[in-house]
Amino acid sequence: MQFQTLRIEVGDREISPDTHDMTRRTPLRAFIALAAAAVFAALALSPLPAAAQSAAGQSAVIVNYERFAESGSADTSVRAEQFEAHVKTLSSGRYAVRPVAEIAETLFSGGTLSNRTVGIAVDKGYRSFIDFAWPRLQAAGLPVTLFVATDPLDKSWPGYVTWDEVRGLRDAGVAIGLTGASERSLVSMTAEERRDDLARAVARYRAELGQTPTLYAYPLGEMSMAAAESVAAAGFQFGFGLHSGAVNATQNRLFLPRYAITEGFAGESEFAMRLDSLGLPMAAIEPADPYLAGVNPPDLILTLDSSLGRIAKPTCFHSQPGGGSGEASVEEAGENRYRIVFANRFRPGAWRLNCTMPTGGKRWRWFGMQFFTAGG
């Protein structure tokens, strides 16, 4: 059975759940014992068995922001009226807004969440979070997780919050995660540089907050299996990218999706579409490593989990900054297996894949991944 891709008219634009852009641009010792780290890394890189991940209570949505009401930053900011509308929607009673850590821990321990569970995350700790967004979230009683890099705080970079303010936010109920020390992409680092950056960030977090961080967000959303192993070895339990899709426990717990909410994708219909999305559980993704150093374009095969039951073939789109976007061909490659065929090579750097499937109702299953094509 074939389905038409969902399209919604917004003003004079037509959007699709498959065409979330890649406009996010950024200028971008304390280890556990080695043996324990190795064991944890192996566990962290293995998703839970699927079981009943197709049910609404086995997936959740995490929305991610960076800047708020900052003119001239449309690629990373939302307008004031957009965010105020989001707060109103999230506090309407339709959604169960829970802390990001609670969402991940529940899903990966085999628990069940409320229907339409949503988490709110914010990256980097720009001043517009504490000046504009936090007062509105606090007034609405909405939990939020703030991911910070430690170097900007240590060096008092202009436009960022301070350690004193981070402690105040923590004491007021904001969960604090890390996005490393330097804000550099882990994919661009050597193994030694990754270890140093993560160790330095964890040490500074412990010194300033007296706690051990468990949540990590990849700078620029750029991920690789080697980077994930470094993140796990540093003691983090969950890692988050900047690719679209709903979280479910068939995913790698160190490659979890977050919908990046920016000005061009913050309209009421687009926001609701993302909040209402469900997980698209995968039994396997080949290749499993989002860092692609071989064939270009990649030979990519998705195996959908059997818990989905009778399913339709997914519709997939790809996008790359400066490289355009388009629909990818989807070919059947066996039972619940689909080969994603790309017409052209990808330029070196990050690009995203989004695949969606209708539920038969008004909601959509959504799988996304950010890949990184090696090369110079």
d(CA 171, CA 177): 14
Sign of dihedral through CA atoms 126, 130, 134, 138? positive
CB atoms within 10 A of CB 359: 15
Contact 189, 220 (CB under 8 A): no
Q: Which residues pair with 176 in a beta bridge?
A: 146
Task: Identify the pLDDT of residue 125.
Answer: 96
Buried/exposed 28-54: b ≥16 CB within 10 Å, e otherwise: eeeeeeeeebeebbeebbebeebeebb
Contact 90, 118 (CB under 8 A): yes
Q: What is the DSSP string of 231-291?
A: HHHTT-SEEE-S--S-EETTS-TTSB--EE--GGG-SHHHHHHHHT-EE--EEEEES--SE
Structure tokens at 110: 């085999």
SS (H, E, C) 59-93: EEEEEEECEECCCCCCCCEECHHHHHHHHHHHCCC
Contact 8, 272 (CB under 8 A): no
Distances (CA, A) of 282 to 54, 170, 230, 247: 10, 35, 24, 11
Distances (CA, A) of 90 to 106, 232, 316: 20, 32, 28
Burial of residue 117 (CB within 10 Å: 0-12, 13-18, 19+) is buried
Coil, helix or strand at residue 186: helix
Which 8-state DSSP code applies to residue 197? H
Q: Which phi and psi (to 5°) does residue 365 adopt?
A: -85, 140
Q: What is the pLDDT along the chain (376 residues), one digit of tens a residue?
A: 333 334 333 333 334 444 444 444 433 333 333 334 433 344 345 454 443 344 567 999 999 999 999 988 889 999 999 999 999 999 999 999 999 999 999 999 999 999 999 999 999 999 999 999 999 999 999 999 999 999 999 999 999 999 999 999 999 999 999 999 999 999 999 999 999 999 999 999 999 999 999 999 999 999 999 999 999 999 999 999 999 999 999 999 999 999 999 999 899 999 999 999 999 999 999 999 999 998 999 999 999 998 887 778 899 999 998 777 899 999 999 989 999 999 999 999 999 999 999 887 788 999 999 999 998 5
Contact 92, 70 (CB under 8 A): no
Q: Where are the domains of the chain?
A: 8-14+283-373, 21-281
- Amino acid symbol at 71: S
Sign of dihedral through CA atoms 324, 348, 280, 303? positive
**CATH 3.30.230.10 for domain 21-281:** no
Contact 296, 375 (CB under 8 A): yes
The label of the residue with tokens 């860092």 reads: 291
Task: Identify the pLDDT of residue 7.
Answer: 35
**Closest of 305, 275, 288 to residue 55, by C-alpha:** 305
The pTM of the whole model exceeds 0.85? yes
Instruction: Name which CATH class applies to 8-14+283-373.
Output: mainly beta
Beta 59-65 vs 247-248: how paired, if at all?
Answer: antiparallel
